[in-house]
Chain A
Amino acid sequence: MRHLSTALAALYAGLIYLFIFLPVVVLVLFSFQDGSLPVPPLNGLTLRWYEAIFADGKLMAALGNSLLVAVISSAVACVLGFLAAYAFARYTLPASGLLRGLIVAPMTVSTLIIGLGLLSMLNISGLRLSLVTVGIGHVVINLPLCFAIIYASMGGHQVNIERAARDLGAKDWQVMLLVTAPMLLPSILAAFFLSVTFSWDEFIVAFLLSRFDVTLPVEIWSMLRSGLDPKTNAIGSIVFLISVAFLVVMEFTVFRKTGKSS
């Protein structure tokens, strides 16, 4: 009986992981397909699709754009989120609970709605669609997340440390830059890397708010319109690989750090 239930549990766990990872495995596997269709049967292994995407100027430009937008928009979201969290944690603001709720609220709104809203705002303001507008969109999406993560890590025990800094002559900006931000670095980095990974594969806002220069997900989408092709599998695998890389970096820089100093 015991053995049976252990076996069933293992089987169940195996199926769950299979369910989650099978699509990725299939995607990666058929990116090596020696043929022009990424569907079974697997005819043999080749690297030529990878060769093709690295030779594809448009695709590489989109990849560069994506990284640029992800890093810059995440940095901006982190700075804004940090400042907002600092204000809420250190000062008594009027209607502070309500205001905090409002900052976090966009997390529950679909990106489609946010994208459409931003699109009409940009139309009214006359700002032309570009990577900058995509970046603005990503800041809007990621700011609530960054705020929530950083705010959660600001506790009362840091108040005395900031007070000590002030007592020793630090001005407000010096306290924030030299004391508060470094103390919160683990959570700031966590917020940064999470929002980089979100921005990295965000499609809807990037699609709605870009025109000539596009990010990678948008470029892949236009590739897909011309039909399935192992090339899309190859670029998909690259996207996946970079996401994993971000996660690994985050794991090492953020969680190692918190584990050690606490």
Chain B
Amino acid sequence: MTADLSIRNATKVFGAFRALDDVSLDIAAGEFIVLLGPSGCGKTTLLSILGGFIEPTSGMISIGGRDMTHVSPAKRPTTTMFQDYALFPHMCLRDNVGFGLRMRGMGKAERFEKAFSYLDLVGLKASSAKKPHELSGGQRQRVALARALAVDPDVLLLDEPLGALDLKLRRQMQDELKAIQKRVGTTFVHVTHDQEEAMAIADRIVVMNKGRIEDVGTPASIYMRPRSLFSAGFMGEANFLPARVLGASGGEVEVETALGRVVLPASAFTSGHPVAGRAVTLCIRPEHFRSANADAPTVSLGRGRITGSAFFGTHHRCHVSADGTTLTAHLPQTDSPEVGAELDLRLKADSIVVLEDGAGV
């Protein structure tokens, strides 16, 4: 089962602290949504409001078109997968997974059968008689998933479910989570502060900061066309170049930077509109400095000198100094950049994003 979900102007105040500040978000049925943000930004608070563990100070939550703002967790069509798994330590896996069904009054035979089928889904059918303490972290995580899915929720809420796993296992579980979500079709709302994880699994990413939503979109649009400085910086490495709008005409905008004047398409403005005289920030991903030979219109930021370089496998990460500004550039792994060498700072005009100052940070 699956349902859409709508959050309207949700605010949560703890004492004098606004953990959530006027958050609105619509989630479609069957979507895999990832809430991404640094520690303390209110991800768990938002998830707890969706699950019914805390009530918003103001605002409204509806699931499948029904108002759920003041409904208890047990009566919501949601289940939560907790960060510490919260498995029942005294029950075997079969009873853990069957617990929700037992609470719904399902008979033993039917319940066990369903529990087995969900354990099978996560590949743990053979261990159904084991207790949680006999399992590894990844296996516990799977049991928690099976337990939460066994009651057929419309929406599954996952609070950093992979946080306790080592990197390799985490990457593997991400793929599994994604595959299982596709299979069951339930709406997933997944919390993490790992942007790679977010990109690996999300249909849409919701970037949060200080209790607010900074940006919402597909992984590609968040990375390529971020709508706030915070979102741009959180989703990977970026060069931020302060600039001032000189003027706009016919879909092109001229801006002045420390590295000279450049002309950009108006679509580079992902937030707000170009207004002459306004201070803005150019956001340039380091890997975009490589595309100088393309046919597309290019922008030149002059030449720079490589002051440091390190090999990262997929690319060389170089520090480049140009007119007193330090930039980071990722050059192809086949290049052999040398310290002291000159670099042509040329890139595709449409790869630059212009953000208004004061939007985020």
Contact = CB atoms under 8 A, between A and B. Distances in A.
A250 interface: no
Interface string B318-332: 000000000000000
B89 to A, nearest CB: 6
Interface string A222-262: 00000000000000000000000000000000000000010
Contacts of B100: 168-169
B230 interface: no
A165 B72 CA distance: 13
Interface stretch (A3-11, A39-47, A115-123, A179-187): A179-187
A179 B88 CA distance: 7
B80 A167 contact: yes
B103 A161 contact: no
Contact of B86 (A164, A178, A182): A164
Given A157-B84, A163-B53, A183 B74 contact: no
Nearest to B75: A169
B235 interface: no
Interface string A153-164: 000010011011
Interface string B61-81: 000000000001110001110
Given A161-B87, A261-B133, A169 B82 contact: no
A90 interface: no
B206 interface: no
B98 to A, nearest CB: 10
B151 interface: yes
Interface string A54-73: 00000000000000000000
A168 B53 contact: no
A169 B86 contact: no
Nearest to B157: A167
Contacts of A174: 103
Contacts of A132: none
A185 B103 contact: no
B244 interface: no
B153 to A, nearest CB: 9
A160 B84 contact: yes
Interface string B90-124: 11000000011001100000000000000000000
A163 B74 contact: no
A162 to B, nearest CB: 8
A261 B88 CA distance: 12
Contact of B99 (A163, A168, A185): A168
Interface string A137-173: 0000000000000000000010011011111111100
A183 B90 contact: yes
Interface in B265-317: none
Interface residues of A, number: 19
A75 B169 CA distance: 46
A167 B74 contact: yes
B103 A170 contact: yes
Contacts of B104: 169
B74 A161 contact: no
B84 A169 contact: no
B192 to A, nearest CB: 18
A251 B103 CA distance: 34
Residue from the set A165, A166, A167 with the largest chain B CB neighbour count within 10 Å: A167
A166 B73 contact: yes
A171 B105 CA distance: 12
Given A182-B90, A183-B89, A167 B79 contact: yes
A163 B86 contact: yes
Contact of B151 (A161, A163, A168): A168
A167 B88 CA distance: 13
Contacts of B74: 166-171
Contacts of A261: 89, 131, 133
Given A166-B74, A168-B100, A169-B74, A161 B53 contact: no
20 contacts: A157-B84, A160-B84, A160-B86, A161-B88, A164-B82, A164-B86, A164-B87, A164-B88, A164-B147, A165-B88, A165-B99, A166-B74, A168-B148, A168-B151, A169-B103, A171-B74, A178-B99, A179-B88, A182-B90, A261-B133
Going nearest first, the 3 A-B pairs with the smallest beta carbon separation are A168-B100, A169-B103, A164-B86
Interface of B: 51, 53, 72-74, 78-80, 82, 84, 86-91, 99-100, 103-104, 131, 133, 147-148, 151
Given A164-B147, A168-B148, A261-B131, 6 more contacts: A160-B84, A164-B88, A166-B74, A169-B74, A171-B103, A182-B88
